[in-house]
Amino acid sequence: MWIYEKKLEHPIRVTCPDVKFAKLVITQYGGPDGELSASLRYLNQRYSMPTDKAKALLTDIGTEELAHMEMIAALVYKLTQGADCEDFKEAGWGGQFVQHDCSLFWSDANGIPWSAKYIASLGDPITDLTEDMAAEQKARTTYEHLIACTDDPCVKSSLRFLWQREVVHFQRFGETLNDVQEWMAKSHVWTGHKCGCE
C-alpha cells in the first residue's frame, strides 16, 4: 500500500539541543492534536467514506501525517541529543528520562500518555470530515504556539513547514466535504441511509 522513501519529508535541523523545548514539542508526537492522532483518525475514517476520491484523500493525508510524526520524532531526538538526567530534570522532564531515557513516548507536553479518546470516527462522512477540519485547525494553532516558544531559526523553519501542511490539509478536507455533500445529495443519501422519496 505504501512506498517508504528513506528520508524525511522536510529536513530537521536545530541550532543546539534544547530539552526544555523538546518537552513542549513532544505534544505534536503524542498529544491530543498531534500527528499520531491525526494519522490514526484519517486512516481509520477512510473506510466509511462514500467516494473513492474521499477515501484516497484520507489515505494520502493519513500517510503524510505518519511522515510528520517521523519529523517530530527527529526533532525531539535532535533537541535532546547528548542530554543526561540532569538536563532532563532541569527542563522539568525528569520522569521522561527515568522511564524512557532519550527514547520517545507518545505523550503531550504535560506527560499525559496518548489515548484513543483523542480520535473520533462516527461513520458519517460529513461528521468525520468536519472533525478532520477541526483537527487540522487545532494542529495549526499548536504549531503557531510552538513557533512562538522557540528562538531557534532552524526549528522555526521545520515547524513552519508542518504548519503549512496543516493549512493545506484543512483546505483539502473542506473541498472533500463539499464533494461528499454533493454526492450524498445526488444519491439521495442523507444521515447514512437512502431516502425513499424523490
Is 52 marked within a binding site? no
Q: Find where cell 528513506 sits.
A: 6
Q: Find where cell 510524526 sits.
A: 69
Residue 33 C-alpha cell reads as: 492534536
DSSP string, 31-84: STTSHHHHHHHHHHHGGG-SSHHHHHHHHHHHHHHHHHHHHHHHHHHHHTTT--
Is 179 marked within a binding site? no
Question: Which residues lie across from 193 on neighbouring strands?
Answer: 190
Is 193 marked within a binding site? no
Is 169 marked within a binding site? yes
Is 60 marked within a binding site? yes
How many CB atoms are closer than 10 A to CB 93?
A: 21
Is 65 marked within a binding site? yes
Residues annotated in the binding site for Ca(2+), as ranges? Answer: 60
Residues annotated in the binding site for Mn(2+), as ranges? Answer: 35, 65, 68, 136, 169
Residues annotated in the binding site, as ranges? Answer: 35, 60, 65, 68, 136, 169
